[in-house]
Structure 1
Amino acid sequence: MKKKIVVFLMACVFSQYTLQAEDFSQNGITPSYTSDEMVVTATRFPVKEKESSRFVTVVDSEELKETGATNVMEALGRVGGLGYKSLAPIGINKQGMNSAVYVRGIEDGELILINGSPVQQASSKGYDLSCIPVEQIERIEVLKGAASTLYGADAMAGVINIVTKKPVSEKRGTASVEFGNKEWMNHGISLSLPGITAGFRYQHLGELDDVGRQFSKKYTNALGETDKYMVNVNASPFENTYIDYQYSWYETAFIDLYDSGKVERTDQESSFHFLNLRYEGERFRGKLFGMHDKRITEDYVDNVFDEEKERLNYNYGAESDYRFTLGGF
């Protein structure tokens, strides 16, 4: 009985395929199936994925949106094969301690690039990817494995290259509004005009009374009200010439509530800038890039001012590449 059922199903499938083929032939149509060409930048110049000798995982814009993340740092934390740690909500850096992702479990072994330019701090290797909204991203390329011969000592475990969307000729705009518990707000606007794409986002989070616990020193970590503003601009004023700019500013407070009744509070204000000027031709590529991260903290003990500190991290540089062939290879 089972054999008869299997034969019947196979016959149905074959007859359906035959009818479709005859329909195509009668109308002079040859059925064909093609997919979009996948190009990656695991090398200095883009190559087809099948021609690359390196193992690269590509996450496109649609897959990033499906993660439900609002920014790149959250999205990377939900991409398979990467480790992730967050020391405070919505990408807040606690007194210099950053959120981060790990490649193959190696801490500080990843190199983070935005359109091929490093966004990391020169000293602490910290970076802030929470200022880049997901809707501004074309794709994320994850190169796993040592790549120091191509990208330097920072790429010991791998490279994560974030490719932003290039300006398009059409005009379009999107807006999003989001509310949640703990006074959560997440509002954004994105505009695309000929030659320029820009986005603005505002986030707010109310006070969190219990973020963590220090058992040895007997106190509970709390987070004060947080306000965060983010701006992203991608422009192409001339052919093959691009300008990328990311900015974020936030203020928050870190509160330590001791079991003894003592209260230590640190108010923090942070501003982050990243600028990338690049030219991308078929044979020549050049870029100028720089990042500037400034944090100001004010310490209070039982509401009495104690100390003010300023932390400044920056990184800048220039890079150029030229591709040529020898003997027709």
Structure 2
Amino acid sequence: MFKIYLMLLMSCFGLIAAADPLYSIRGQVHNEQGKPLIAVSILIKENLLGTQTDTIGRFVIDKLKPGEYTLIISAVGYEKKFQRISINKTSVNNINLSLKRLAQNLKEVNVLGKQESHDNLIDFTRTPMPATVITRKQIEMMGSRRLDEVLKEQTGLAIVNDIGSGARAVGLQLQGFDSGYTMIMIDGQPMTGRNSGNFDLSRITVANIERIEIIKGASSCLFGSEALAGVVNIVTRQNIAQSQGLASVRYGSFNTLDATLEGETPFAGGKGSGYLSGNYYRTDGFNANPYLSEGKTAPPYNSYTLQGRARYTLSKMNALNITGRYAVRNSVNQTAYNTTPSRDVLNEKDLNASAILNTNFNSGWRVKTQYYLTRYATDQNITNLAGGYVIPSNNFVQYMHRGELQAAQTYFGTMVLTGGTGIQYETMNDNLYSGAKSQSTAFVYGQADWKISDELGITGGVRGEHHSRYGSSLNPSFGLKYQPVKALTLKAAVATGFKTPDFRQLYLNFTNLAGGGYTVLGTDVFAAELQKLQDAGQISAVFANAARVTTLKPERSVAYSAGFTVQLNANLKADVNGFYNDVRNFINTDQVASKTGGQQVFSYFNIDRALLAGADIGLNWKAGRGLNISAGYQLLYAKDRGVIDSIKAGTGNYAQVYDPNTSQTRRSKVSDYFGLNNRSRHMANIKFTYEYEPKGITATFRVNYRGKYGFQEANRPNGFLDPYDTYVSGFFLLNASLQKTLMDKHFSIQVTADNFMNYRDQLMPAQSGRTIMLGLNYRFFKNKI
């Protein structure tokens, strides 16, 4: 099936590309200074044929009959232009077109609108699932320093801790899925390195982020495994039009220092460009647990990040793009919970690098050929300071090599086809995983975005994968957008998701001596390692659910999304989207045995079905000159269908609830079941932003609410969160910022206050208390005359 699909897909692309044109229009687009402009849209008004300019501003439109045509030339930040062309049984060549920059954009050093990506031909905003874009300007106005600080203020996104793995395991929860189900990408390529499944977002600086693209909902049809919940794509600085630089420093609470130097410049007469950024960050950490007599729940650390990009036009058709990121983070945390003190040392190294050849053919086809490498390594050692011995810890190296070929073409000005194929090879060498492990995935995908009319558009795509262990899979998606009137847009989508078990779930063999002695076993090593513990006399009881620990199956989901956007008036817009995720073979973690000392043994197994459903609501109001008010709310239901069925039937582990108030055991009711751990039923935010441009003043005030969520079982274990278990209460976080620019926008000063009501909870170890920061920025650029 997979081979047949591959042949059909490539044949379709080949047939479409094979047709020869009758006549053509050729030309070049440049700005007022004579420099070529890339990604300029050229559209013929009469027949809607169109294309985009290549890396040196050239364009070609084929398949034209003799006649009179009107060209519509448009680009982000430039005035739209109309050009009349006459074809009389011959091609029209060497048309020189000049675009004039919009006056209002001259006020900004950085153009913050959407621009063509050099790294990925996939347009993240054209995927079937709902998409959100966070601009660089929004990040700067918030005064955020790390990626987790930006994302935790977005509607429907929650920053979560795996407390059993320590505060370093800080991840992103999207539509109720654990963070292991959201793919984190940089410039369109996946990043690696997870602690207990969580990708620690705090290790990423926002210093050179151009924008952040977020897709909510199953995105496996384009991005493969790990995109079951969605995608967060970090787009780094790309479009470089002039020489400029930045020096930035921030200092504040918890001895936190954030310093950045960056610079960019075109060279070789505009044929090339380069960007380089360096960031240093340090913090003394924070203690959220009153029972911790020494040390921090959010450990102290320092990090160094070096990021760069170089782009050079090799020929009229080809441009080479090189990107690189290298980050190092070091942390030492000495802790004592009124008992045995320990010293935890963690060193992390993170590398991302790619080489990309972009080719623009005269026919309008755009092709990207890319090799991508990422390497993530940790070296962690925990020392028992009383006994002087080293406790087994997490030391590993993970590599990913990825080769990919992408192609895209626009037809009739109304249809965009994007396709690709590639192979990915991963290796993991971990002292906890019984030696080196590897896996590989071959993939092919395609997507068509077709604007049938001014009112109706459809998006459809499919991805085929072949995993070295789990075989082949096919993941289609389909989306529909309909605009019956100008003020109302209706949208709906359905997509499938697919996720293979990760290294941890298959091979982990870990005993946390520093955290109470609990043990976690992957399914492939479970039987042998449990038998070793039994032979050593360390097991007191094996639970009935241990029989369910068998070879894990891949998780699959069907995601449904439907909603609407309505422009209530010129200043008020509302966006409503409902989602429903039906997940099969959901991988869950549970206790399967007890040790003689009372410690727990955990493993992984598939549960039949999980339900993750809810709705997102967003409002945006331009309340006055410079004042904008936006608000968001998410309602979420995250439940295991098996638990609900067991409660209804009155059988199994879930049939009983122990009430500590009456010291009685009674039959469970469906209303007793709150849902999956660590999911809030309600989340909301409201943001006030103000910008007074004549005086260079910007200010924000943001309120974020997260409702009550379950932490762990506290009474007699029955396998689900009932009313008598431990919960984290609902809470508000209040953040604000104020910035003033001076010296013709060269210099700015900013004050930020995060969590200024100083909310803390020992069950949220990474939630810092009140954080006040002062920032100074100086931009180096040549003023326009």
Over residues 159-195 of structure 1, what are the superposed CA-to-partner deviations in whole Å (9 max), with x where a residue is unaligned? 1111111152421111112221322211111111221
1:261-300 equivalences under 5 Å are 262-281=340-359, 282-300=365-383
Number of equivalenced pairs = 285
Q: Does 1:243 align with 2:322?
A: yes
**Matched position secondary structure for 2:150:** helix
Evaluate the alpha carbon distance shift between residue 187 and residue 300 of structure 1 in structure 2; reply closer, same or farther with a 3 A threshold: same
Q: Does 1:317 align with 2:396?
A: no
| Alpha-carbon separation, structure 1, partners of 2:255 and 2:281 | 10
**Matched position secondary structure for 1:149:** helix
| Cα offset, 1:263, TM superposition | 0.5
| Alpha-carbon separation, structure 1, partners of 2:122 and 2:299 | 45
Evaluate the alpha carbon distance shift between residue 75 and residue 241 of structure 1 in structure 2; reply closer, same or farther with a 3 A threshold: farther
1:1-329 equivalences under 5 Å are 38=114, 45-47=121-123, 49=125, 53-85=128-160, 98-107=169-178, 108-121=180-193, 126-127=198-199, 129-166=201-238, 168-194=240-266, 195-206=273-284, 208=286, 210-212=287-289, 222=296, 225-238=300-313, 240-260=319-339, 262-281=340-359, 282-302=365-385, 305-307=388-390, 310-323=395-408
Tell me if the contact between 1:65 and 1:134 (Cα under 8 Å) persists in the aligned partners: no
Evaluate the alpha carbon distance shift between residue 270 and residue 72 of structure 1 in structure 2; reply closer, same or farther with a 3 A threshold: same
Tell me if the contact between 2:124 and 2:215 (Cα under 8 Å) persists in the aligned partners: no
More strand per residue: 1 or 2? Answer: 2
Name the aligned partner's letter for residue 121 of structure 2: F
Over residues 80-113 of structure 1, what are the superposed CA-to-partner deviations in whole Å (9 max), with x where a residue is unaligned? 331213579xxxxx77953222221211221111
| Alpha-carbon separation, structure 2, partners of 1:326 and 1:167 | 26
| Alpha-carbon separation, structure 1, partners of 2:325 and 2:311 | 15
| Cα offset, 1:52, TM superposition | 5.5
Name the aligned partner's letter for residue 140 of structure 1: I
Evaluate the alpha carbon distance shift between residue 69 and residue 96 of structure 1 in structure 2; reply closer, same or farther with a 3 A threshold: closer
| Cα offset, 1:268, TM superposition | 1.5
Q: What percent of counterpart residues are identical?
A: 19
Tell me if the contact between 1:228 and 1:250 (Cα under 8 Å) persists in the aligned partners: yes
Name the aligned partner's letter for residue 279 of structure 1: L
Evaluate the alpha carbon distance shift between residue 152 and residue 175 of structure 1 in structure 2; reply closer, same or farther with a 3 A threshold: same
Tell me if the contact between 1:40 and 1:46 (Cα under 8 Å) persists in the aligned partners: no
Evaluate the alpha carbon distance shift between residue 275 and residue 191 of structure 1 in structure 2; reply closer, same or farther with a 3 A threshold: same
| Alpha-carbon separation, structure 2, partners of 1:321 and 1:170 | 29
| Alpha-carbon separation, structure 1, partners of 2:328 and 2:278 | 12
| Cα offset, 1:241, TM superposition | 2.4
Evaluate the alpha carbon distance shift between residue 199 and residue 274 of structure 1 in structure 2; reply closer, same or farther with a 3 A threshold: same
**Matched position secondary structure for 2:132:** strand
| Alpha-carbon separation, structure 1, partners of 2:213 and 2:220 | 17
| Cα offset, 1:132, TM superposition | 4.2
| Cα offset, 1:279, TM superposition | 2.8
| Alpha-carbon separation, structure 2, partners of 1:315 and 1:96 | 26
Tell me if the contact between 2:172 and 2:198 (Cα under 8 Å) persists in the aligned partners: no
Name the aligned partner's letter for residue 210 of structure 2: E
Evaluate the alpha carbon distance shift between residue 131 and residue 60 of structure 1 in structure 2; reply closer, same or farther with a 3 A threshold: same
TM-score (norm 2): 0.33
| Cα offset, 1:154, TM superposition | 1.3
| Alpha-carbon separation, structure 1, partners of 2:304 and 2:386 | 27
| Cα offset, 1:207, TM superposition | 5.8
**Matched position secondary structure for 1:62:** helix
| Alpha-carbon separation, structure 2, partners of 1:124 and 1:278 | 32
Tell me if the contact between 2:121 and 2:407 (Cα under 8 Å) persists in the aligned partners: no
| Cα offset, 1:69, TM superposition | 0.7
| Cα offset, 1:153, TM superposition | 2.2
**Matched position secondary structure for 2:312:** coil
**Matched position secondary structure for 1:84:** strand
**Root-mean-square deviation (Å):** 3.6
Name the aligned partner's letter for residue 170 of structure 1: Q
**Matched position secondary structure for 2:253:** coil
| Cα offset, 1:79, TM superposition | 2.5
Name the aligned partner's letter for residue 286 of structure 1: T
Tell me if the contact between 2:170 and 2:200 (Cα under 8 Å) persists in the aligned partners: yes
Tell me if the contact between 2:219 and 2:230 (Cα under 8 Å) persists in the aligned partners: yes
**Matched position secondary structure for 1:270:** strand
Evaluate the alpha carbon distance shift between residue 65 and residue 86 of structure 1 in structure 2; reply closer, same or farther with a 3 A threshold: farther
Evaluate the alpha carbon distance shift between residue 135 and residue 203 of structure 1 in structure 2; reply closer, same or farther with a 3 A threshold: closer
| Cα offset, 1:313, TM superposition | 2.2
Q: Which runs of 5+ in 1 are unaligned?
A: 1-33, 89-93
Name the aligned partner's letter for residue 63 of structure 1: Q
| Alpha-carbon separation, structure 2, partners of 1:96 and 1:293 | 19
Evaluate the alpha carbon distance shift between residue 127 and residue 231 of structure 1 in structure 2; reply closer, same or farther with a 3 A threshold: farther
| Cα offset, 1:327, TM superposition | 10
Over residues 203-259 of structure 1, what are the superposed CA-to-partner deviations in whole Å (9 max), with x where a residue is unaligned? 222364x24467xxx877526652211111122134532222111112112333132
| Cα offset, 1:129, TM superposition | 4.5
Higher mean Cα deviation, 55-64 or 273-282? 273-282
| Cα offset, 1:62, TM superposition | 0.8
| Cα offset, 1:134, TM superposition | 2.5
| Alpha-carbon separation, structure 1, partners of 2:194 and 2:162 | 21
Q: Which runs of 5+ in 2 are unaligned?
A: 1-103, 106-111, 267-272, 360-364, 416-785
| Cα offset, 1:39, TM superposition | 6.3
| Alpha-carbon separation, structure 1, partners of 2:300 and 2:225 | 38
Over residues 26-54 of structure 1, what are the superposed CA-to-partner deviations in whole Å (9 max), with x where a residue is unaligned? xxxxxxxx99975688xx735595x6544
Evaluate the alpha carbon distance shift between residue 48 and residue 82 of structure 1 in structure 2; reply closer, same or farther with a 3 A threshold: closer
| Alpha-carbon separation, structure 1, partners of 2:248 and 2:386 | 38
Tell me if the contact between 1:167 and 1:236 (Cα under 8 Å) persists in the aligned partners: no
